[in-house]
Each structure stands twice: as C-alpha cells, then as structure tokens.
Amino acid sequence: MADISFILNGTGVTASANLSDLPLVDFLQEDQGLTGTKFCCGIGVCRACTVSVRRAPGAPPEVLLACSTPLSQMAGLEVYTVESVATDGMLHPLQEALLKGFAFQCGYCTPGFLMAAITLWDRLKAAPIPASALDAAIDQAIGDHICRCTGYVRYYEAIKQAILNEGGLVS
C-alpha cells in the first residue's frame, strides 16, 4: 500500500499508508497541528468539520466532512482548512462579515460555516449567479450546518452581506 500524498493549505503533505483509515479531522489536528477544523458529532451531521477540497487543480471547490472521511480518500486532492482563509494577516471578507455581524456565540461551529461559505464564495468567483438566486445558494451551502447557540440568521445575513459587497459574485 502506498503512502497518501495531497496538498494541504497549499503545501504538499504525505501520510503513511498505515494511517489510511484515520479520519481526516484526526490527521489535521493530531499530525498537522491544525485545530481549527472541529470534531463534534463524528458522523457528518453537524458539519463543524467542514473543509474545502479541489479534486484537481482548477476544479471547482467542494465541501468535505473531515470527521467521516478517511485519509485514504485524500490522495491527490487539494484540501483547505479554516487556517488557510486569512492571508498575510488579513481576514477574508467573509471572516470580517462574521465578526461585524456578531454571527457566532461560542464559535465551535464557525469553522464549518466559514469553510462552507468560502467554498460558495470560490464557486461564485468562477461562475457568478443572479442576485435573485443568492438566497437559495446560501441556503444550499449552510442550510445543513448545526449551531447549538442558534446563530443561523446571523451567519446567513453576514454571508449574504459579504457576497453582495464583493463585486463580481452575483450579477
């Protein structure tokens, strides 16, 4: 069995083949020290463990649930965690919007909501949608995420405002 190689937040990583059954979230936290991706339900229901992946360079990003995805499925993928969102110490517009909109309380679910929103953002950059379709697109992106502090409306509004404020994402 071959080692597992993939891109993690822009850097190549290789994991031993004997870790193939390890959930991605455990590899991120224990082996890579990336603790932003949260483990909560462990069965892919709450979505706190959401990361963004590209199956090939230039492919559209997709969400992936790191708690229920074994490391073996990462071979050849590009994986992005919440640690990749801010660049050069500057917050992404979605991060700014979540902060300004007081979108979260305890913050445990925030990385999952943020990575789902980042994935939507990146898809909209590649293929803008009509403004009339934005509500449905946001609901599709974050509608299944669970927030125990009931921050749903604030998450939704902050994401919508950030997308509307950024030129070129909606037509």
pLDDT of residue 150: 78
Domain formed by 4-84, architecture: Roll (3.10)
Q: Looking at the domain 93-165, which fold is it?
A: DNA polymerase; domain 1 (1.10.150)
Cα 59 to Cα 37, 80, 134: the distances in Å are 22, 13, 22
Asked if residue 136 lies in contact with residue 71, where contact means CB atoms within 8 angstroms, the answer is: no
Phi, psi at residue 62, to the nearest 5°?
-135, 155
Domain residue spans of the chain: 4-84, 93-165
Cα 160 to Cα 83, 93, 128, 163: the distances in Å are 22, 11, 14, 5
Tens place of pLDDT per residue across the chain (171 aa): 799 999 999 999 999 999 999 999 999 999 999 999 999 999 999 999 999 999 999 999 999 999 999 999 999 999 999 999 999 999 999 999 999 999 999 999 999 999 999 999 999 999 999 999 999 999 999 999 999 887 799 999 999 999 999 989 999
pLDDT of residue 51: 98
How far, in Å, CA of 58 to CA of 61, rounded? 9
Tell whether pTM > 0.85: yes
Q: Which amino acid is at 162?
A: A
- Give the relative orientation of helices 93-100 and 110-126 as an angle to the nearest 10 degrees: 130
How far, in Å, CA of 114 to CA of 106, rounded? 14
